[in-house]
A and B are shown apart, each in its own frame.
Chain A
């Protein structure tokens, strides 16, 4: 059960009624429950009240074959973070829900051990006793010395906020997949190297044994063999066998499909390898081999060792560390990615959601958003723009068009209905199908369901779900989301042999135990194909061919943004599906699943009790499922994925907006080739490793500081308005001062008013000490300039006065401002020195919203056709100009100098919009011949 603190924000306290209450009581339905921990000074949004750790962290654990589940490391690696939280216990918990049939060894019907390229599984589980909820990402790494050659690991994102895990599932899954992919790539490399060394050892051993046998033979010519000789011969034979086995293993690891690699986000190192291969492939006659050897060649300088005949499977030997298992380079990369994840999901869920919505909305305003938004986000947008080129027409219409699909309300609904789902987390295992699908409804917050209805479902389900008194619940897994969407889109619900049914059945049978874990559904990481099925494909790739998991999310998102794109998107997804069918047609069941026409829409029937009352067809499926389940030992995880791909995107939930960040990544992967340019773009957009960006450039702290300082400036200087006007109208503002820190601080604060040229950093130079040049005014719109008292400074001042027509000069030391007159009404609203806003971050948001309004005005002005073109041939330019003026004044309500601001922004918009066409990299410097005035305090 979920313990009280988890749902406390939504519950009403009993004591509330008894409190003295003087005011006329509000009607019951309007009253807001008090936050029970308010007396302790806790933040009402803090979900951590019940948890033993202070904030979210990432835990990497291993199921060690020697000591069992054990935590390896946490990110951030700081004991303060997890506090008294029992990592060992939690490791045990999370490792015990690994449903991967990570069976490696000698499968029946196969002479040699088989490596299985297992897809990671992604599970959400909660431990309400500990107050911890986790997204758990299981993966296996190969280790020659490990049992079955595999070492199961898991990475868990642990948070006290269950909603966060659930709502951010897609993002978490995508990000962790990337980290996992990195680890696994490094591991494959290391494993191949290890195998080669081992082969050399074995080869050497064989040679030694061979010579020894020969010597013995020669020494012993009696005609019969001594027991010693027989032993030697046996040993030799076992070495031979071992060599063959290892060679086979090596072949298998090398057969890891490269096309799969290409589809993924590659680690840079890997990318190079691929490129190397490509270049080699063109030169060598046998590209595959050369590529493979290139990829996995181990260092040549290795001296083989003699291997003892007795297998050393002793338990005191030291297992390799994670770093040894993977290449160090890949390991550090993974750590960077993980700490990036930790950064990314830091903070309250509300905050994350809001910023995601914010970002998604910003993306829609791709024509204007570059002006005042931080460029990290703009960066994302750039990528998106790139990929959205084919679907241009729909993208380029005014944003009002797509605003009606604004996803906010839906998200709100889902949050609302989420509450109930939390309460109904436990579901009886017998209800596999119904529950599973129902659960999926919850996970994806399908808004096509009426919330009320939803609650009804919940009610019915609740009946069956009271049973477990234990504290770990698996709340959902990744693949379940897609299943849901599919089941909802009837057209594509084609799978009579629905593998996920099979899966969940199998899993529940396997994992339902006396232990406290309840599994609702899991990732189909095991395949459904019996191994003998695969035996006919010796180099079988036992890994699913599917695209990265974020895929569905991305498509949903696009669909939800603008339906006109659907054709495009759908096509893409269909293409994907087709290509997958192509590539995986050897796996019979896959195509089966795709091709069988839908007989019955397997709609979710929430009233179904799940025990017996399934419709006949489903019953049959189940049976078959059982059958398959029992008959298989090893599994191919791909089939379900493929069958899921074909669903029409438009039926999906806009709340997948949450997956918006993935869109750039996944769609890029899907649509683009693997040129390094694209991949670099992808990596900048998605691998936002913190260090890659100037720290704090867009961080909240930065915003807060900037807002605070801007507020201070506005309050301190009565001439703040003309200064801000200068910035908004594109006239370079030079902040002149002796003290670098003071100048920098003010420049950073004022930078929030500076419109950007494009997707790059704002045209702000924080500190300059050499005389300014005309180029500087073209490049920078806000400059912090050092005032030098010495004669050397004379040049600086001379240049400044020479170019005075291009600049406004704010002299911090003398508290003067020299700039053109401003009489508009826009800036006073933007920067009111009597504003009630106290906090920097609030002011920052105020500025942002004002500027967004301004942007929309500029947008209207720029894209109003009749304002810029003559309506008929005889119309003079003067008429057009007067029309523009009256539009600016009457329609947009701009007076005096405000017009110039909008005109400047309009020029930037034009330039930005046309930048694809050949032009200069630098924008031109626009200026006016207007007199300047000197303002003093």
Chain B
């Protein structure tokens, strides 16, 4: 009757025993976010957050409006109204140093088959392009060439003045789902199961025309490619619906590494569990990547995997990091990883070197209680064992942020102001370090006192 009262976590304790989902109690000493501010301006799912500068960010979503916020105070700065349908892509076009107009541009693509260019400082609609045959699903800016690309059913190249420079022929009906820039004036586009490399031909003495050429088709994925990302100058990574992770060489477009170990059906499982696993099939789709110099972090289904580029293997994983699919992950400078999920929570992880000596690590507090080791203990699989031996690090849950009542679509990390999350519950939440904010407020208080001349009156 009172279980909901007693149980600290979201899962009743009986279930938690079986589920490998790692939970953390209410005591989260390492969680710095002790202050939150709910920002409400949207009236539909908020899907995108994009950082404009040190203190501003823009949010966009299914209601077709773009809102510019102050990340420090949570103040709503601007509201950009123009789209009639949901926004499908948003990107900033940073102004060039040489360019006269310093204002930052925001590009938004919408399901109403338009792209609008906004002035990020004045909310002015700079221009509106509505000659698209299909919805633009991705936008990318090639800053070096000062052009931007829009990807829908075809790929178009535009310059800053919004002239259409060139475009490809119709590629497919599903359209381009992801687009990244790779060296040598190339871009790689994910279209269904295949990757297509395009090369951009900038005007030279020979020809004044821009051109875009289809260079190569890569057909290594078995299923639709969901995520595509640059790792570094030399490689990029793709992830597919059935959990294939491929790292490509960005120069010669060959496969550097291939990983498909995220889901291993274990022969020992009985039929009942088989069904469960079948249901979980979509759990291994790779939704998002993030990476640092050494590792690629992948959001695979409900889990998180850390793939080491040098060792070319998964060094740490958290199979059920969330109750539901992980939608977005980001790596913070301090070896922390933040993930957000459809279950409405945001979790903060820390990548820790596993102490090889401690064969049976003594659980210290909450963190290890439902951790990785236990899961492995239960499954005495040779494959698992092998994997365990292989992993040399672990992802430890150090905190979770609960505020949204629906799926958290994306988040944005500000070094100075904390974390911004957006969600399907139409809200944006600003998570802040309470102690730091308190200090800042004191600082401002005394500044104000000084301005008023009250500080040294007693002297």
Contacts and interface: CB of A to CB of B under 8 A. Distances in A.
Interface of A: 392-393, 396-397, 773-775, 778, 797-805, 809, 811, 814, 816, 818, 862-863, 865, 868-869, 877, 880, 903, 907, 910-911, 913-914, 917-920, 922, 924-932, 934
B40 A775 contact: yes
Given A775-B38, A801-B10, A924-B432, 4 more contacts: A392-B454, A774-B405, A800-B4, A802-B402
Contacts of A924: 35-37, 74, 430, 432, 437
A917 B38 contact: no
Contacts of A913: 445, 448
B27 A929 contact: yes
A814 B2 contact: yes
Contacts of B446: 865, 868-869
26 contacts: A392-B452, A396-B454, A397-B457, A774-B429, A775-B40, A778-B37, A798-B4, A801-B5, A802-B402, A803-B403, A809-B5, A811-B2, A818-B6, A862-B442, A880-B439, A910-B438, A910-B444, A917-B444, A920-B75, A924-B37, A925-B38, A926-B35, A929-B34, A930-B27, A931-B26, A932-B8
A813 to B, nearest CB: 11
Nearest to A920: B74
A920 B27 CA distance: 29
Which are the 4 A-B pairs with shortest beta-carbon distances?
A: A868-B442, A929-B28, A801-B4, A910-B441
Nearest to B399: A929
A928 B34 contact: yes
B438 A907 contact: yes
Contacts of A934: 2, 5-6
Most chain A CB neighbours (cut-off 10 Å) among B4, B5, B26, B402: B5
B454 A903 contact: no
B96 interface: no
Contacts of B445: 862-863, 868, 910, 913-914
B8 A774 contact: no
Contacts of B75: 918-920
A880 B405 CA distance: 38
Contacts of B404: 774
A774 B403 contact: yes
B73 A920 contact: yes
B38 to A, nearest CB: 5
Contacts of A863: 445, 449
Contacts of B91: none
Contacts of A914: 441, 444-445, 448
Given A868-B442, A925-B36, A929-B34, A397 B454 contact: yes
A774 B401 CA distance: 12
A188 to B, nearest CB: 45
Contacts of B73: 918-920
A702 B445 CA distance: 36
A809 B7 CA distance: 13
Interface string B422-459: 00000101101010011101111110110011110110
A931 B442 contact: no
A724 to B, nearest CB: 20
A903 B26 contact: no
Contact of A907 (B29, B40, B427, B441): B441
A868 B446 CA distance: 9
Nearest to B438: A907
Contact of B8 (A392, A393, A877, A931): A931
Given A920-B37, A925-B35, A930 B441 contact: no
A678 to B, nearest CB: 22
B454 A868 contact: no
A934 B27 CA distance: 15
Interface string B17-40: 000000001111101001111101
Contacts of B402: 802-803, 805
A932 B437 CA distance: 25
Most chain B CB neighbours (cut-off 10 Å) among A775, A862, A911: A775
Contacts of A920: 37, 73-75
A934 B454 CA distance: 47
A797 B4 contact: yes
Contacts of B6: 818, 934
A811 B2 CA distance: 10
A396 B399 contact: no
Given A929-B28, A934-B6, A922 B37 contact: yes
Nearest to A817: B5
A816 B6 CA distance: 11
B405 A773 contact: yes
A737 B117 CA distance: 53
Most chain B CB neighbours (cut-off 10 Å) among A804, A809, A913: A804
A868 B439 contact: yes
A903 B438 contact: yes
Given A801-B4, A804-B8, A910-B441, A926 B34 contact: yes
A778 B36 contact: yes
B443 A911 contact: no
A862 B402 CA distance: 30
B8 A869 contact: no
B38 A868 contact: no
Contacts of A930: 26-27
B5 to A, nearest CB: 5
Nearest to B450: A865
A805 B345 CA distance: 13
Contacts of B458: 397
Most chain B CB neighbours (cut-off 10 Å) among A799, A924, A930: A924
Contact of B38 (A778, A869, A928): A778
A907 B444 CA distance: 12
Contacts of A814: 2
B454 A925 contact: no
Nearest to A395: B454
Given A797-B4, A799-B405, A914-B445, A774 B25 contact: no
Interface in B107-152: none
B34 A393 contact: no
Most chain A CB neighbours (cut-off 10 Å) among B28, B74, B445: B445
Contacts of A927: 34-36, 434
Nearest to A865: B446
Interface in B200-217: none
B358 to A, nearest CB: 27
A930 B29 CA distance: 8
A864 to B, nearest CB: 10
Contacts of B454: 392-393, 396-397
Nearest to B445: A910
B435 to A, nearest CB: 8
Contact of B26 (A397, A922, A929): A929
A172 B404 CA distance: 55
B442 A910 contact: yes
Contacts of B434: 926-927
B408 to A, nearest CB: 12
Contacts of B452: 392-393, 396
Contacts of B430: 924
Contacts of A797: 4
A924 B430 CA distance: 9
B442 A869 contact: yes
A774 B431 CA distance: 13
Contacts of B457: 393, 397
A804 B35 CA distance: 15
A868 B443 contact: yes
Contacts of A775: 38, 40, 427
Contact of A922 (B38, B437, B453): B38
A880 B423 CA distance: 37
A928 B31 CA distance: 10
Contacts of A917: 444, 448
A689 B437 CA distance: 41
Contacts of B432: 924
A423 B150 CA distance: 95
A930 B31 CA distance: 11
Interface string B395-426: 00001001111000000000000000000000
